[in-house]
Amino acid sequence: MIKRKAIPVGTLFMTLVLALAVLGVGYGLWSKLLLIKGTINTGVVDAIFYEAFTDDDNVENNELKDDGDDVPCKVGGGSCDPMELGPNPDRYDKDVGECVAVIDSLDAQKLHITVTNGYPSYYCTVWYDIWNNGTIPVKIQSLTVTPNNFTNGVEVTVGLSKLSCGQQIDPGEKVGDLPPTNLAQGDVHIHVEQAAKEEASYTFDAQLLLVQWNEFDDTLCK
């Protein structure tokens, strides 16, 4: 009869310890994964022309800006031509020229200005309202005028005023038929100079660059 050799008690004890250690490692590898899901909704930088008018389009739109524009002139039938720039100008005693501003029907970010039958010392002031119809405040970074076929200040003088570099326009809310809140009003002033030629057509482009308010760079203001 073969006798099996007994395992030493110390060896058996160490074997059990190692087995429990391995079992402990197995339990330590159990895990739980926690998930975080986030959603970031960005806003919109946007702005359009809401309203535009001039002081020589034969319609009084604002009694503080173009008073008398609907009063027939003694000579010419329409309102008398403005003889200076700015709100409520003095007027000549004749209706010769006409100045009209129209917001583009397909793109409200464009404004068309047309002067008809202009002459040396003819003046026109165009008023426009800007509506921030986005969700983020904007600031005016720059206002520029680019003459296409004349030298500004020689044949014709065109300038942008009222609005200033750095002016903030907050988002405006429109309710019903009421005008939007926070409208910003600016103007384009036009003066036909003595050097203007007869039967000429002078064109220009004007741009207002609006940037989100926290990206405005005041060093770019001139």
* pLDDT digit string, tens, across residues 171-199: 999 999 999 999 999 999 999 999 999 99
Contact 171, 137 (CB under 8 A): yes
Mean pLDDT over residues 159-176, rounded? 94
Query: What letter represents residue 75's amino acid?
Result: V
Confidence band for 164, pLDDT divided at 50, 70 and 90: very high
pLDDT for 161: 86
Q: To the nearest whole number, what is the mean pLDDT of the chain? A: 90
pLDDT for 162: 84
Distances (CA, A) of 140 to 51, 165, 209: 18, 5, 6
Place of tokens 């970031």: 40
- Does residue 20 surpass a pLDDT of 70? no
On the 0-12 / 13-18 / 19+ scale of CB atoms within 10 A, 99 is buried
pLDDT for 29: 76
pLDDT for 62: 94
pLDDT for 21: 53
- Does residue 4 surpass a pLDDT of 80? no
- Does residue 165 surpass a pLDDT of 80? yes
Query: What letter represents residue 110's amino acid?
Result: K
Q: Compute the radius of gyration of the chain from its Cα atoms.
A: 37
pLDDT for 90: 96
pLDDT for 24: 52
pLDDT for 46: 96
Give me the residue spans of the domains in the chain: 48-220
Beta carbons within 8 Å of 12's beta carbon, 6+ residues apart:
none
Residue 174 to residue 146: CA distance in whole angstroms: 33
- Does residue 22 surpass a pLDDT of 90? no
* pLDDT digit string, tens, across residues 205-217: 999 999 999 999 9
Phi, psi of 118 (to 5 degrees): -70, 160
pLDDT for 207: 93
The more confidently predicted of residues 185 and 27 is 185
pLDDT for 14: 55
The more confidently predicted of residues 76 and 5 is 76
